[in-house]
Amino acid sequence: MSRYLALVPAAGSGSRFGGPSPKQYLQLNNRPLMWHTLQVLSQVAAISRVVVVISPGDEWFDDFEWDLPKLSVLRVGGASRAESVRNGLQAMEAGEQDWVLVHDAARCCLSVAAVERLIATLADDAVGGLLALPVPDTVKRADGEGRISATVPRQGLWLAQTPQMFRAGLLAEALAAATVADITDEASAVEQYGHKPRLVEGDAQNFKVTYPRDLALARAILAARKE
């Protein structure tokens, strides 16, 4: 029986966000930002384990009470997101047929419904896939001077989100074959390995907290859910 396991890379330094601590530990509605992410994944009944990957030198994680029974932590984060995922996948000892849902710690406004939609859509899929958003706006390509060099046709363009869900065996092989420096998500490694992951429509609330301006939006979304 295949299990559904969540793997959360959380070993980033948050350089675009700045600040004294990585963004995943910022206080958001009285909890670390990442707690909200881990709580949603823990609330998905099909997910039996939530594994968070932090850096070996992480000095923040142990300062918090996480109170999430499905949670376990691995101090095997690497120099890139892809390396953190690869190291975490190796260390978590998933079965080859287990489904692994890789989700950014920084996407703290994920919904249980979106994860359940991803699982339901891909449960019998031969490859796996990811939550993503069809591009809703006109897309411009910039020249080197902040002016438009082209308008890019948006038909068929999607913005990749997470979770990205693949069977552990396929994901491990794809990550081993990939040039880690070239990949920014799991799907690109699986694509390079010769497969076509399925796109499953996510929602705009599942954005990645990347810049300081993103925090107010995340705070508002989470507060609205409590009302």
Ligand X SMILES: C[C@](O)(CO)[C@H](O)COP(=O)(O)O
Ligand Y SMILES: Nc1ccn([C@@H]2O[C@H](COP(=O)(O)OP(=O)(O)OP(=O)(O)O)[C@@H](O)[C@H]2O)c(=O)n1
Contacts with ligand Y by CB under 6 A lie at 9-17, 22, 24, 53, 77-81, 84, 104-106, 208, 210
Among 3, 117, 195, 208, binds ligand X (CB under 6 A): 208
How many whole angstroms separate alpha carbon 202 and alpha carbon 111? 9
Nearer to ligand X, 68 or 160 (CB): 160
Letters for 121-160 (x = contact with ligand X by CB under 6 A, - = none) are ---------------------------------------x
Nearer to ligand X, 45 or 159 (CB): 159
- Based on the shown chain and the rule CB under 6 A, indicate whether residue 23 belongs to the binding site for ligand X: no
Least Cβ distance, residue 18 to ligand Y (angstroms): 9
Q: Say which entry of ligand Y, ligand X, none residue 48 contacts (CB below 5 to 8 A, set by partner kind).
A: none
Nearest CA among 226, 202, 227 for reference residue 39: 226
* Count of CB atoms situated within 10 Å of the CB of 173: 15
User: What residues from 66 to 95 belong to the interface with ligand X (CB under 6 A)?
Assistant: 81
Among 184, 204, 211, 217, binds ligand X (CB under 6 A): 184
How many whole angstroms separate alpha carbon 192 and alpha carbon 91? 23
User: DSSP string covering 171-210, please?
Assistant: HHHHHHHS-GGG-SSHHHHHHHTT--PEEEE--TTS----
Q: Is 185 exposed, middle or buried (0-12, 13-18, 19+ CB in 10 A)?
A: buried
